[in-house]
Structure formats: structure tokens, C-alpha cells
Amino acid sequence: MPQLIQLPLFIDSGDIKEIAKYLKMGLCHGVTTNPTILVKEGVTGGSATIKKRMLEIAKLIHPYRLSVELTQNDNAQSMLAEAKDIISWGAPNIDIKVPVHGPNGELDNLEVIHTLENEHDIRVNCTAIMSAQQGLLAALAGASYVSLFCGRVNNMGYDSREEVKRLRTLIDQYGLKSKIIAASTREAINIMEWILAGAHIVTIVPAFITTMLVHPYSKETVQMFLADAKKNR
């Protein structure tokens, strides 16, 4: 089977109907989830409910990738155990989301990333990255994906496009395998800005697809075509 070419849009959602809608349009090239997204979409009831939803999404989008977030972040052993459990669900297109460090700056996470990628052949999406230097360290640890939270970078008063450019330059310069995911999208314009800055992938809030696609002048033009067509009937 030929290798799947990485296309640039990951849908940031846990809603099956929403994901299916954009998959049929050819606009869903992967899916990212996290506990906050799932809670907002009413996925409650504990680990069994989360597992059921994740397996439904993984089956729907296969062979595209689905990132599933760890809920354990206490120490390396608990994170590794949870990651292995998620992989044991049997969906071949699931990747594990691991934050770049612990809630209080603990350093176990990069060890977990390195171990999962290099000893267990498990793909990791390293998340909560706010700078190119963090992204470089995650890439050196072996993460398949490095998620730069560009929207939050902008919120802090920095230009996220510059962080994307710096990180892409470093990844290319050293031949690292990591793909940059520009995440935490705040405006529709972010998608094009971050792709042009060098991100391999952008996570897109589904509502922004409509914003990108529907243009008032396009609507006006289509309406004009239809009106003129009726005159010739």
C-alpha cells in the first residue's frame, strides 16, 4: 500500500457527525482531541465512554491519524502504562498525545516520548508547546508530531508565525522526522498564515471551514449565474 501523503488539515473535534461531514468533502486529514473538547461535546461517563468514541472516530477516518490525549501525567510509569493501554485498543491509526512537560514543569514527559517512539514504535504527538525551543527538544526526543499552540502564543503577545518558521528551519536543518502541527486556532486567517509560515499541519475548528469557503462575492456570483440561466429557459 503506498504511503499516505500528509495533508494539512486536522479537524479539532470529537463530534462524529461533524468529522464525517468534512471527511466526505476531502477536508479532514486527521483528527485531534483532548479532554476539554470531549467534555464540551458531552462525552462523559468515564474511560469506557471515551474509548468507545475514540474507536468510532479512528474507524471512521482510517487511515488518517487520530491523536488521543493521556489523562495520566504523574510520572513516566503511569504515562507509559496508559499509552500502552490506549494502543491495545487495536486501532492502528491512533497516536498518543503527551504534553511537553508535567503540570509543574516535571521533565519525565520527554523520556516517555523517547521511550514510546524508540522502544515501542508508538507515534507521539507532543502537545502544549509554546516556543520553537520546546518544539526542538520534543523533536529531538523523537516525537512524530510537535503541536505548537500558536493561538496561545499570539495571546501572549508574540508572533506565532515566527515561532513556526524557526521550528521548521531547525527540523529541516537537522533532518528530524517531526511534523509541526499549528494548534489552538483562534481565527480563520490563522490557517493560511501558519501553513505559509511552515507548519506541516493546522488543527482547524470546523466552523472556520465555512468561514474560509463561503465568500459573499462567490454567493453573489452564483446567484447571478442562476438568475441569468432562468432567463434562457
Tell me the catalytic residues.
Answer: 97
For residue 103, the one-letter residue type is: P
Q: Are 29 and 204 in contact (CB under 8 A)?
A: no
User: Cα 185 vs. chain centroid, distance in angstroms?
Assistant: 11
Q: Which residue has the cell 514543569?
A: 105
Distances (CA, A) of 90 to 82, 95, 103, 157, 186: 14, 12, 29, 42, 34
Q: Whole-angstrom Cα distance, residue 85 to residue 193?
A: 37
Q: Using CA atoms in the order 84, 57, 10, 68, what is the torsion angle rounded to 10 degrees?
A: -20
Q: Are 9 and 27 in contact (CB under 8 A)?
A: yes
Kindly give the residue spans of alpha helices, DSSP state H, lying in the chain: 16-24, 35-40, 47-61, 76-87, 108-119, 132-141, 150-155, 160-173, 189-197, 206-213, 216-231
Distances (CA, A) of 232 to 68, 219, 222: 55, 21, 16
